[in-house]
Structure 1
Amino acid sequence: MNDRDIQTPKTTGRTTRRWLIPLSGTLLLLIAVGALLHQYQTEIANTLLDRALRNQPAHITAMSGLNADTQHATIDSISVVLSEPAIEMTLNQVELTYSWASLIARRVEAVRIDDIRVTLLQSEDSLTEGTLQTGRVSVDCARTGICQIVANGGGSVNTEILLPGSSDPTPLRFGWTQPIRAAWVSASQFTASLSLQADSLSLPPLPLQSMPVQLDLAVSRTGDELRIDASAHLPADRSLQINASHEISTGRGSGQFTTDGFVFTELFPLSALVSLPDETDIIAGQLAAQAQLTWLRPAGGEFELQGPIDVQAQNLSGYFGDTVFTRLGVYMKAELLPDWQLRTREPGSAALTAVDPGIELEYLSTRFTLDTRNSSVQLIRPQATVFDGIVSAEQINWQPGTPEHFEIQLQRIDVARILGLSAYQQVQATGRLDGRLPVELLNTTAVINGGKVTSIPPGGSIRYRGGRFGGSNQNMELVNQALQRYDYSSLDATINYSATGDLNLDISLQGISPLLNNGQRINLNLTIADNVPELLSSLQAGRSVQDALSDHLQRR
């Protein structure tokens, strides 16, 4: 080994010391001069901070009350403006702790801030104006090289955000009392956890009620990936779990969203969660959902969200308008499309114990598909129990503005149950009916032309206990006498139902009346006309939907 080999590292060491020693001396001199010359402290600190921030999207706008020594510095107030994103930040009662080593490394070992106020300025992104305020914040960057932050003093956020698909900003307000904890090595590697409590959280573009929300949130970033794990706790043990990741550079992300089950009761109905039309609510049952969504937010492009959504409802009971329903169950595998539309991935299933718009329908069931892109719904083999018989169809397709033709099958309809309605209390009858009803459906208007109903052998009987009808001629007198007690062997009816709700039944009866000529055989032709909407209104009149629903729940 020669002298040149030995001398080279010594020269390098001297060169390093040449800039370290002046730097250390300069820092010491600045701090010492700052401690001795109080009137120049702010100017010295501003100069140092401005140089430190020279290559950053930030600058100091104001600072007051600086005091410094060789280990500590305190600042009454410091204001910073960040241009990306547009933020104004005010830090009050700041205390910095440092050492010779940390000063040489151009960092402090610890920071304590008693109060932070952040103003979020108008931007072209989803965030608009707002403020954030927090209590005491402590930062420790000593020895490990990993900075840790703890915010113990609680805080609040009052801001507005622009939700995807909305043209107007949405107010967002929440606060927290539990500590916020975070740790980071750099801006591209950090972790944070916090627990937020919103006393009244609402998002006006969405039909959500204002309600208290507890949010437990864990956020981490490693390189380009941002990871979020959150639990939102709503009243009555309702919760939402979120596990998501997002690539910052590409704007792509994916996440799983899960509800363990929203349980509805009379004390916590659906209306406590979402805004509903008047006289509409769900007061029993539970709803669970799971979604595996992906999203893309390209620079300057529209936000896209898509992915599978599974929904399961059990025993939902409630009312809409004057109609009550009990124990609705739904299972659906759907897909959210990029244009915020929804379609089923496969036929779903729905079953309902009862629905009562005035006439009780029981044990409804169907398979179904839906597609909101063209507002279409397909019912596959829908079936219900009506008047103790079965009403069914092979398939019903519904789409606004498109006429649909299908046939309803009637099996073993009980005549006694039909006439048991309060509108026909003067008539008693027995017997069962089969039939078919050709239906033309346009939007929500149904028309029936030439429906046929036929009695099932051996027929039945009719007992009319009302007043006289049809005039006083001889034929009508015969009808009045015959219907007081009439045993029919066959009943055939033609049914027509108009778009205005007018129902016409042309009935042909063959049978005998024991009250006439010792059981003389008599054939009767009757026409019955009624308006179905008016009939249903009369059956609903005076009843409380809440009382009717309670009655249905108690009976089942």
Structure 2
Amino acid sequence: MPDKGSVQSRRIGRRLFWIGGPALLAWPLAVAGWSFAIDQGSIGMALPDIRSGGWEVTGSQADIRPSVTADSDSAIIEFAPSSLIITEYLAYTGAEQPLRFNTLRTDLSNSTVTLDYGASGSWADRIAIDGDIAVSATRVEHPILLPQAWNFEGRAEGRLSELRVQGTLVSDSGFSADLDVQLDPDGGVSVAIESVIDGKQGVRALAGTLSGWPDLLTVDSGNARLRMAVSTGRGGELEASGIADLQDVGGVYNRTAVSGLSGRVRVSLENSQVAGSFRDLAVGEINAGIPVSSVRFSANYNAPMTELLAGTLEVQQARARFLEGTLRVPPAVYELAGGSGRIPVEVEDISLSRLMAVYPAEGLSGSGQLRGRIPLGISGDGVQVSAGTVSAIDPGGRLQLPADKLQAMLGGNQAMDVVVQALQNFHYSVLNSTIDYDEQGKLTLGLRLEGKNPELRGGQPVVLNVNLEEDIPALLTSLQLSGRVNEAVTRRVRELLQESGEETAP
């Protein structure tokens, strides 16, 4: 059993080393050829607050168990299990969106710090870390994140000036991501994040992590592999990029059901410009009341960060199936700046019979096929169409429109009785229509028909010019409440109508 004097001498020696640590680092410059070792000790100390380069660190307390080996060139500090540094508050306020950590616990167990004081250069070049590291925070705050606890477990390796940290980051909501942080000797930082979001549980964890997650977005199936890279240069300039590989994703956004979404989406930010690319994007079906299926889309998009809807769209492929026909945007470059740009949607071989079948009114029927061109405008105010055109393909077809619906659409105008009678059984050879759609959802059709009703005026030729108006949001609401989309959409529409105090019946 060691005597009390021996034990007390070792304790005093450890205290003297840590109290005189700064002096020992300078002493080897004048005295060479020495070395010493100190076995594991237990040290508790308050660390100074730091405010530098946009960083603020306050209330730090170290409770560490180091073993030290030193000579005239370097010192090696090995930390035993339960070596902790606890920081009450850490924040980076050098950016427009500050990052804050509360009660940060850094576990240095089984890690090693090497101080190469015999070398030249800054201390960041002469201090190296190697080993496991675990960090937890009771609360992390940033504008893009929901405040909550986070944990990180991984490994740190390299000199402070070019330190690399790799590991797994987990939020309290269950979101998990692989993290790779690389410091640049010039002062920059590069961060790579990779995560796999799988099914409802993965989406629920992501939604519980991001503050900007849309309330009206739910995902029921599929998975996504997300990869993001963020870097800052010495001058603080920010570059960011992200890739999402989607596989058979299905869900509901607002009142629209989406199924079978697959493909790759890439987004990057550089010099205040946002660039996006969509590669081999495919959607099984998009249904807001009238289904659009077999969507195929490949394109690039570039816009200033401050005006995301005023960019340049380069379409390589954009097509879909609609009412037994096709929708298509011709490959080209479309300038959308100023809200004046238009994306031409070409419609081909649309079935009038199918169109009449989806309309929520009894007694509608028709035959024939339609083609046309609809210039689509997209702005912060919504979607608009101006001077679109649709016409029937030869040889025409047949229309049967119920009198009560027609009179309602025509405003009960008695002067239109002939039109109402003719359209009870109208055989047309010409059907042309102009299409306009405003931001409030009002659709206006300028319809010109040439043909005859065999039961009217002995089947004499008739030319009809009719202006029709339709409230598209109300029409879609009726379709959604009729169960033509899916149960999730119907339920959401009913909830929204109940919140607004409107009727829920179609």
Q: Under a length normalisation based on structure 1, what TM-score does the superposition of the two structures give?
A: 0.67
Structure-1 residue corresponding to 2:261: 328
* CA distances 1:183-233 after superposition (whole Å, capped 9, x unpaired): 2442535443335364755332223463554x2221123585423222324
Q: Report the AA paired with residue 207 of structure 2.
A: S
Q: Offset of 1:121 from its aligned partner? A: 1.8
Give the whole-Å Cα distance in 2 for the aligned partners of 1:332 and 1:550: 29
How does 1:408-427 map onto structure 2 within 5 Å? 408-427=345-364
Structure-1 residue corresponding to 2:22: 53
Give the whole-Å Cα distance in 2 for the aligned partners of 1:286 and 1:209: 25
Is contact 2:130-2:158 (8 Å) kept?
Answer: no
Distance 1:519 1:180, change over 3 A: same
Distance 1:440 1:232, change over 3 A: closer
Structure-2 residue corresponding to 1:160: 90
Q: Does 1:196 align with 2:125?
A: no
Give the whole-Å Cα distance in 1 for the aligned partners of 2:439 and 2:174: 47
* CA distances 1:112-146 after superposition (whole Å, capped 9, x unpaired): 22x74645625033431344556662425499985
Give the whole-Å Cα distance in 1 for the aligned partners of 2:163 and 2:37: 27
Which protein has the larger Cα radius of gyration, Structure 1 or Structure 2? 1
Give the whole-Å Cα distance in 2 for the aligned partners of 1:233 and 1:434: 53
Q: Report the AA paired with residue 110 of structure 1.
A: D
Is contact 2:45-2:63 (8 Å) kept?
Answer: no
Structure 2 gaps, min length 5: 27-32, 117-125, 492-506
Q: Offset of 1:434 from its aligned partner? A: 0.6
Distance 1:503 1:242, change over 3 A: closer
Distance 1:322 1:308, change over 3 A: closer
Is contact 1:413-1:434 (8 Å) kept?
Answer: yes
Give the whole-Å Cα distance in 1 for the aligned partners of 2:45 and 2:216: 44
Q: Offset of 1:542 from its aligned partner? A: 8.7
Structure-1 residue corresponding to 2:53: 125
Q: Does 1:311 align with 2:248?
A: no
Structure-1 residue corresponding to 2:177: 240
Helix, strand or coil: the match of 1:180? Answer: coil
* CA distances 1:312-351 after superposition (whole Å, capped 9, x unpaired): 22333333333333333342455442x465324x774533
Give the whole-Å Cα distance in 1 for the aligned partners of 2:430 and 2:155: 74
Give the whole-Å Cα distance in 2 for the aligned partners of 1:379 and 1:231: 38
Give the whole-Å Cα distance in 2 for the aligned partners of 1:323 and 1:396: 28
Structure-2 residue corresponding to 1:452: 389
Give the whole-Å Cα distance in 1 for the aligned partners of 2:64 and 2:129: 19
Distance 1:526 1:148, change over 3 A: same
Percent identity over the alignment is: 17
Structure-2 residue corresponding to 1:483: 423
Q: Does 1:361 align with 2:297?
A: no
Distance 1:209 1:382, change over 3 A: farther
Helix, strand or coil: the match of 1:420? Answer: helix
Structure possessing the higher relative contact order (Cα contacts under 8 Å, 6 or more residues apart):
2
Q: Does 1:405 align with 2:333?
A: no
Q: Report the AA paired with residue 493 of structure 1.
A: S
Structure-1 residue corresponding to 2:401: 464
Q: Offset of 1:168 from its aligned partner? A: 4.1
Q: What is the aligned-residue RMSD (CA, Å)?
A: 4.3
Is contact 1:229-1:242 (8 Å) kept?
Answer: yes
Is contact 2:324-2:349 (8 Å) kept?
Answer: yes
Distance 1:208 1:107, change over 3 A: farther
Distance 1:211 1:513, change over 3 A: farther
Is contact 2:128-2:159 (8 Å) kept?
Answer: yes
Q: Offset of 1:162 from its aligned partner? A: 1.1
Structure-2 residue corresponding to 1:434: 371
Give the whole-Å Cα distance in 1 for the aligned partners of 2:136 and 2:300: 38
Q: Report the AA paired with residue 527 of structure 1.
A: N
Moved more, 45-54 or 165-174: 45-54
Q: Report the AA paired with residue 331 of structure 1.
A: R
Structure-2 residue corresponding to 1:70: none
* CA distances 1:465-494 after superposition (whole Å, capped 9, x unpaired): 453837696x75544444333333332222
* CA distances 1:254-295 after superposition (whole Å, capped 9, x unpaired): 56x252522241574341331224323444332224456654
Is contact 1:209-1:274 (8 Å) kept?
Answer: no
Q: Offset of 1:110 from its aligned partner? A: 1.4
Give the whole-Å Cα distance in 2 for the aligned partners of 1:353 and 1:418: 20
Structure-1 residue corresponding to 2:488: 548
Is contact 1:323-1:357 (8 Å) kept?
Answer: yes
How does 1:177-256 map onto structure 2 within 5 Å? 180-186=109-115, 188=126, 190-196=128-134, 198=136, 202-208=140-146, 210=148, 212-213=150-151, 215-222=152-159, 225-233=162-170, 239-248=176-185, 250-252=186-188, 254=190
Distance 1:543 1:108, change over 3 A: farther
Give the whole-Å Cα distance in 2 for the aligned partners of 1:52 and 1:152: 22
Moved more, 46-55 or 196-205: 46-55
Give the whole-Å Cα distance in 2 for the aligned partners of 1:408 and 1:189: 62
Is contact 2:158-2:164 (8 Å) kept?
Answer: yes
Q: Offset of 1:419 from its aligned partner? A: 2.7
Helix, strand or coil: the match of 1:53? Answer: helix
Q: Report the AA paired with residue 22 of structure 2.
A: L
Is contact 1:191-1:218 (8 Å) kept?
Answer: no
Q: Report the AA paired with residue 384 of structure 1.
A: A
Structure-1 residue corresponding to 2:322: 386
Q: Offset of 1:378 from its aligned partner? A: 0.8
Structure 1 gaps, min length 5: 1-30, 36-40, 58-103, 552-556
Q: Offset of 1:515 from its aligned partner? A: 3.5
Helix, strand or coil: the match of 2:52? Answer: coil
Is contact 2:372-2:391 (8 Å) kept?
Answer: yes
Is contact 1:404-1:442 (8 Å) kept?
Answer: no
Q: Report the AA paired with residue 110 of structure 2.
A: R
Q: Report the AA paired with residue 321 of structure 1.
A: N
Q: Report the AA paired with residue 192 of structure 1.
A: D
Moved more, 409-418 or 397-406: 397-406
Is contact 1:328-1:352 (8 Å) kept?
Answer: yes
Give the whole-Å Cα distance in 1 for the aligned partners of 2:87 and 2:222: 35
Is contact 2:326-2:350 (8 Å) kept?
Answer: yes
Q: Under a length normalisation based on structure 2, what TM-score does the superposition of the two structures give?
A: 0.73
Q: Report the AA paired with residue 329 of structure 2.
A: A
Give the whole-Å Cα distance in 1 for the aligned partners of 2:476 and 2:69: 74
Q: Report the AA paired with residue 263 of structure 1.
A: D
Helix, strand or coil: the match of 1:416? Answer: helix
Q: Report the AA paired with residue 313 of structure 2.
A: Q
Q: Report the AA paired with residue 193 of structure 1.
A: G
